[in-house]
Amino acid sequence: MRSLNESARLYDAACKVIAGGVSSDIRRSTTSAPPLYIDHASGSHLWDVDGNEYVDYVLGQGPLLFGHSHPRIVEAVTKQLARGQVYSAQHALEVEVAELVCELVPCAELVRFNSVGSEAVQGAWRLARGLTGRPKVLKFEGHYHGWYDSALFSLHPSLDEAGPADHPRAVLGSLGQLPSAADGLVIAPWNDLAAFNRLLDEHAGEIAAVTMEPLLCNTGCIEPHAEFLRGVRERTRRDGIVLIFDEVITGFRLAPGGAQEWFGVVPDLAVFGKAIAGGLPLSCIAGTAEVMRPIVEGRVGHSGTFNSNPVVMAAAAAALSMIAEQRDALYDPLRERGRRLVEGIAERAKAAGVDILTSGPGPIVQTYQTSRSAIDNYRDFATVDRERTLRFHAALLDQGVNSVSRGLWFLSTAHDDADIDRTLNAVERVFDDPTW
């Protein structure tokens, strides 16, 4: 067992001044142990304030494609800090980053920057409504597009409230959320083209945009069926609906050009965040010149005090330059290590008689506590043993491995074979322990 005395002391103090003791709900502890209190991090490893060391597969919930404190990102940020941290004026770094995004991302002809994914999603939705003059956005059940009122619907709804699988209801995600925001959404099941087409028929002329996580990463790690993704692209093009990929997780992580490059299906508009700036807060809306025109012409408003501040732009220029320089040489080892990790976990689970299903393309992988052979949508995911998933996560923490509590694992270029070996040994110890 880890010693967590200093973490417990800090958590105690935090609960007196920070609501719930943490600064984002996802950081709440899932057990009676205090949440992680980090002292420092480097590469693929974290050290907590009690001196415990962890191999880190959370990576800040995805941004750290190059691991913690990559020297090129540290150098770029340090150099920029001495030259000013926010100008509220234009500068060369923002042009460089915009050029890199347009070079790397298939749909990107024009971009606009924000700070976090949630606000960039709002910008993309406003743009689509402004462009088409239509009021609604279609989103898929189980997909996450940020925590704002208009988006936080039907992420992981209780099945009592969620309605029929092929015609889901919009279910509020939080007390206090504006219920009328549901009027701006249509909820569809993921990977069901017939249901998708029926919903578009039902709402003909009302839908401005279809939004998806092209690789669903907030409800397991679920790939789109090829014919589903193609069908959505064809139907949205036919109906003049803006197809928006929310690439906040997949952008610059799945491939240099994100999921749209990986799956070979190009949306009209995409939203990026997380990995775009190597761990600093930057997001971006990227789209075709035609779709971005209402912003160019000033007919759709888009603002932000911290948009394209030079410190995060310095980090983004460093991160995106490394991606542009290395391309497959950067992603191939990530994919290989992710594959080794999930195959190793699956082998050890089989040997121990534990039911585990694995999925994911490598830079992002998932372990599910289930005897099912496939998870294709939220309703499948809802059958996974979530309690056991949380216990697996907690047991791994005790063994020095930090993964996302819902069973997701992010890989970085800093992870090496020794990290994977160490992780698989930890997994074996957990499986050998009958108490978890």
Q: C-beta of 179: minimal distance to ligand PLP in Å?
A: 21
Could you give the C-alpha distances from 34 to 11, 30, 139, in angstroms and in order?
A: 6, 9, 35
Distance CA 393, CA 35 (A): 13
Catalytic residue from among 56, 274, 368, 398 = 274
Nearer to ligand PLP, 151 or 320 (CB): 151
Planar angle of CA 101, 312, 152, nearest 5 degrees = 80
Q: C-beta of 145: minimal distance to ligand PLP in Å?
A: 5
What residues have CB less than 8 Å from 136, skipping those under 6 apart? Answer: 183, 184, 185, 186, 203, 206, 207, 208
Q: C-beta of 204: minimal distance to ligand PLP in Å?
A: 28
Q: Where are the beta strands (DSSP E) in 230-379?
A: 242-247, 269-272, 283-287, 357-359, 364-368
Which amino acid makes up residue 208?
A
Nearer to ligand PLP, 121 or 291 (CB): 121
Planar angle of CA 268, 270, 271, nearest 5 degrees = 160
Residue 416 appears among annotated catalytic residues: no
Distance CA 188, CA 154 (A): 10
Nearer to ligand PLP, 107 or 426 (CB): 107
Query: Cα-flanking dihedrals φ and ψ of residue 9, to 5°?
Result: -65, -45
Q: C-beta of 311: minimal distance to ligand PLP in Å?
A: 17
- Of all residues in the shown chain, the one whose CB is closest to ligand PLP is 117
- What sign does the CA torsion over 178, 183, 185, 189 have? positive
Q: C-beta of 103: minimal distance to ligand PLP in Å?
A: 23
Query: Cα-flanking dihedrals φ and ψ of residue 91, to 5°?
Result: -155, 165
Beta bridge partners of 401: 55
Tokens (6 digits) for 402: 């930090």
Classify 19 as helix, strand or coil: helix
Residue 192 appears among annotated catalytic residues: no
Nearer to ligand PLP, 283 or 399 (CB): 283
Catalytic residue from among 11, 144, 331, 368 = 144
Residue 376 appears among annotated catalytic residues: no
Nearer to ligand PLP, 246 or 268 (CB): 246
By the criterion CB under 6 A, which residues form the site for ligand PLP?
A: 61, 116-118, 121, 144-146, 213, 218, 246, 248-249, 273
In contact, 148 and 172? CB cutoff 8 Å: no
Nearer to ligand PLP, 152 or 430 (CB): 152
Q: C-beta of 312: minimal distance to ligand PLP in Å?
A: 12
Catalytic residue from among 149, 246, 376, 380 = 246
Annotated active-site positions, please? 144, 246, 274
